[in-house]
Structure 1
Amino acid sequence: MRLRIDGVVKEFDGKKVLQGASYTFEKGKIYGLLGRNGAGKTTLFNCLSGEMGMDAGKVLLEEDRQARELEEQDVGYVYSLPILPEFLTGYEFVRFFMDINRGRLQMDRTIDEYFDMMSMTEEDRHKLIKGYSHGMKNKLQMLLFLITKPLVILLDEPLTSFDVIVALEMKTMLREMKRDHILIFSTHILQLASDLCDELVVLSKGRLSSVPADLLRSPEFEQSVIDLLKDESHAENA
Structure 2
Amino acid sequence: MQLKLQQITKQFDSKKVLQGAEFTFEKGKIYGLLGRNGAGKTTLFNCLSGEMAMDGGQALIRTESGDKPLQGEDVGYVYSLPILPEFLTGYEFVKFFIDINKDKLHIDKSVDEYFELMSMSVEDRHKLIKGYSHGMKNKLQMLLFLITKPPVILLDEPLTSFDVIVALEMKKLLREMKTNHILIFSTHILQLASDLCDELVVLHKGELSSVPAELLHSADFEQKVIQLLKDDSHAEQL
TM-score range, shorter chain: over 0.9
What does residue 163 of structure 2 align with? 163
Identity, % of aligned positions: 76
Letter matched to residue 35 of structure 1: G
How many residue pairs get aligned? The number is: 238
What does residue 132 of structure 2 align with? 132
What does residue 26 of structure 1 align with? 26
Q: 1:207-236, CA deviations, whole angstroms, 9 ceiling, x for partnerless residues?
A: 000110000010111111011101112338
Q: State the 1:17 CA deviation.
A: 0.2
> Structure 2: which 5+ runs fail to align?
none
CA distance in 2, matches of 1:147, 1:182: 16
CA distance in 1, matches of 2:209, 2:65: 24
What does residue 108 of structure 2 align with? 108
Map 1:85-124; keep pairs closer than 5 Å.
85-124=85-124
Q: 1:3-51, CA deviations, whole angstroms, 9 ceiling, x for partnerless residues?
A: 0001000000121100100000000000000000000000000000000
TM-score, structure 2 length as denominator?
A: 0.98
CA distance in 2, matches of 1:134, 1:222: 27
SS for the counterpart of 1:115 is: helix
CA distance in 1, matches of 2:228, 2:219: 16
- Does residue 149 of structure 1 match 2:149? yes
Contact 1:59 1:70 in 2 (8 A): yes
SS for the counterpart of 1:10 is: strand
TM-score, structure 1 length as denominator?
A: 0.98
SS for the counterpart of 1:235 is: helix
Structure 1 residues 237 and 50: alpha-carbon distance in aligned structure 2, compared to 1, 3 A threshold: farther
Q: 1:57-87, CA deviations, whole angstroms, 9 ceiling, x for partnerless residues?
A: 0100001150010010000000000000000
CA distance in 2, matches of 1:10, 1:235: 19
Map 1:1-238; keep pairs closer than 5 Å.
1-235=1-235
Letter matched to residue 209 of structure 2: S
Provide the aligned C-alpha RMSD in A. 1.2
